[in-house]
């Protein structure tokens, strides 16, 4: 009795793998054609991406460091997505979280390890509170979270910009600013996230925090009552409420947890420094689209936290490798287009399988009729 089912599952798995391979191949071919159309050669571009992300000394460590906040944002996005909520305000939540961590880190101070805990906790708190504004609007006034979270990105950016213009908030003293007008104080060396050196690559502690977070969230969503209720709420709100699941309680907490992870990403970017994240200072444009990239990673990973780990590394590799692409004579921003092609490629198979399954279901229903 089990053999037909096993065969069917094996066939379906083969179809999924085949579709993904074809989609990724098509994305890579389109990317190569685009490079050729802009007057470049795709071979040096591929080599530059590999050199910038993996092969050159110290580069894969930098790619891992870039992947860490991307993965944290993606993990939070997965939590809100499981509850059926669309949070697209990660960029603002990350920035507000970084601002909270910076402000309270310097306000409270203390020895290095203690201060790191302060920065991380208040970073997560800031991101969670900022997402909580959207949760309040959603469950108090029924404002769609997809709209409120997006608009709060702009509001959060303006608030942080104001903080960086005021010395009593985030702005560094005049002597610490040099030629820059709007920067925070630089985090002291003994208060920074430690890094592990492996084969000449510096791997920040944030990498291990991000991977552990993905594993823990994956287990919580799959093996706990909280995760079951969250998934139930996301799939069928009415059935979940009839089963005693509070739409307001679980929905608001999921949205705030999502924001907390984005805020945590901002905090580790500040405390981890390097990797083009402001050199242990809060600066204008600090988020550098990490929030948007994390959102894409969650989308491509299809809301699976463990799958988000390698996907985040791929997206981080495109980001770090882009700095080497300019040496080939091709605009480095071409990697954004390649990233877009890859996102589309990884979203096509689920759509194809859904349409195929729906067609088969309709055909079967027609035969029964």
Torsion sign over Cα 352, 150, 97, 173: positive
The pLDDT of residue 5 is 54
Return all residues near 350 (Cβ < 8 A) that are at least 6 apart: 302
Give the whole-angstrom CA distance, residue 303 versus residue 154. Answer: 26
In a domain, 364, yes or no: no
Judge contact between 72 and 268, C-beta under 8 A.
Answer: yes
In a domain, 181, yes or no: yes
Give the whole-angstrom CA distance, residue 233 versus residue 225. Answer: 12
Give the whole-angstrom CA distance, residue 300 versus residue 26. Answer: 16
**Structural domain boundaries enclosing 249:** 56-345
Main-chain phi, psi angles of 196, to 5 degrees: -100, 125
Give the whole-angstrom CA distance, residue 136 versus residue 119. Answer: 25
Q: Which two tokens stand for residue 171?
A: 């702005």
In a domain, 70, yes or no: yes
The pLDDT of residue 74 is 97
The pLDDT of residue 164 is 93
The pLDDT of residue 249 is 93
In a domain, 17, yes or no: no
Judge contact between 97 and 126, C-beta under 8 A.
Answer: yes
Main-chain phi, psi angles of 198, to 5 degrees: -130, 115
The pLDDT of residue 95 is 96
In a domain, 111, yes or no: yes
The pLDDT of residue 1 is 46
The pLDDT of residue 274 is 61
* CATH code for position 71: 1.10.3470
Judge contact between 221 and 82, C-beta under 8 A.
Answer: yes
Q: Count CA atoms closer than 13 A to 279's CA, side-chain side.
A: 4
Residue 137's closest CA among 85, 79, 78, 74?
A: 85
Cα separations in angstroms, 341 against 26, 239, 336: 9, 38, 9
Query: Which DSSP symbol is given to 2?
Result: H
Q: Are strands 195-198 and 201-204 parallel, antiparallel or unpaired?
A: antiparallel
Instruction: Quote the radius of gyration of the chain (alpha carbons, Å).
Output: 22
Query: Which DSSP symbol is given to 280?
Result: S
Question: pLDDT 10s per residue in the chain (369 long)?
Answer: 445 555 577 777 788 788 888 888 888 888 888 888 877 778 888 888 888 888 888 889 899 999 999 999 999 999 999 999 999 999 999 999 999 999 999 999 888 889 999 999 999 999 999 999 999 999 999 999 999 999 999 999 999 999 999 989 999 887 666 656 789 999 998 889 998 888 888 888 999 999 999 999 999 999 999 999 999 999 998 899 898 899 999 999 999 999 999 999 999 999 987 655 668 999 888 988 899 999 999 988 888 999 999 999 989 998 888 878 877 777 767 777 877 887 888 778 888 877 887 887 788 777 776
Give the whole-angstrom CA distance, residue 206 versus residue 186. Answer: 19
The pLDDT of residue 7 is 54
Give the whole-angstrom CA distance, residue 191 versus residue 361. Answer: 59
Judge contact between 304 and 218, C-beta under 8 A.
Answer: yes
Helices (H), 236-333: 237-242, 247-272, 290-300, 305-325
Return all residues near 139 (Cβ < 8 A) that are at least 6 apart: 247, 248, 251, 252
Query: Which DSSP symbol is given to 327?
Result: G
In a domain, 5, yes or no: no
- The structure's pTM equals 0.90
In the chain, the number of structural domains is 1
Return all residues near 310 (Cβ < 8 A) that are at least 6 apart: none
Total count of residues recorded for the chain? 369
Residue 139's closest CA among 49, 253, 222?
A: 253
Query: Which DSSP symbol is given to 189?
Result: G
Judge contact between 303 and 78, C-beta under 8 A.
Answer: yes
In a domain, 138, yes or no: yes
Main-chain phi, psi angles of 202, to 5 degrees: -95, 115
């Amino acid at each position: 009795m089990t053999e037909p089912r096993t065969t069917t599952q094996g066939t379906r798995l083969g179809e999924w793998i085949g579709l993904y391979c074809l989609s990724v191949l098509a994305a890579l071919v389109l990317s190569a054609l685009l490079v050729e159309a802009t007057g470049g050669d795709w071979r040096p571009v591929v080599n530059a991406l590999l050199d910038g992300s993996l092969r050159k000394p110290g580069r894969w460590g930098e790619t891992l460091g870039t992947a860490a906040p991307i993965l944290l944002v993606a993990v939070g996005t997965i939590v809100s997505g499981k509850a059926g909520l669309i949070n697209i305000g990660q960029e603002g939540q990350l920035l507000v979280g970084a601002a909270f961590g910076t402000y309270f880190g310097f306000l409270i101070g203390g020895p290095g390890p203690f201060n790191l805990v302060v920065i991380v906790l208040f970073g997560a708190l800031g991101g969670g509170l900022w997402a909580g504004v959207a949760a309040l609007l959603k469950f108090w006034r029924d404002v769609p979270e997809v709209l409120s979270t997006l608009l709060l990105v702009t509001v959060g950016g303006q608030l942080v910009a104001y903080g960086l213009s005021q010395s009593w908030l985030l702005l560094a003293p005049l002597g610490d600013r040099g030629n820059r007008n709007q920067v925070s104080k630089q985090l002291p060396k003994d208060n920074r996230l430690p890094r592990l050196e492996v084969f000449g690559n510096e791997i920040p502690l944030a990498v291990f925090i991000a991977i552990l977070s993905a594993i823990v969230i994956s287990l919580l969503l799959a093996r706990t009552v909280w995760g079951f209720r969250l998934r139930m709420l996301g799939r069928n709100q009415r059935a979940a409420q009839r089963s005693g699941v509070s739409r307001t309680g679980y929905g608001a907490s999921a949205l705030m947890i999502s924001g907390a992870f984005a805020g945590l990403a901002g905090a580790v970017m500040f405390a981890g420094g390097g990797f083009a994240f402001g050199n242990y200072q809060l600066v204008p444009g600090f988020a550098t689209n990490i929030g948007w990239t994390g959102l894409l990673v969650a989308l491509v990973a299809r809301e699976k936290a463990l799958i988000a780990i390698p996907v985040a590394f791929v997206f981080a590799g495109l980001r770090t490798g882009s700095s080497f692409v300019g040496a080939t004579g091709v605009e480095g921003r071409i990697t954004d287009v390649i990233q877009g092609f890859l996102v589309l490629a990884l979203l096509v198979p689920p759509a194809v399988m859904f349409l195929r399954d729906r067609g088969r279901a309709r055909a079967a229903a027609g035969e029964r009729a």
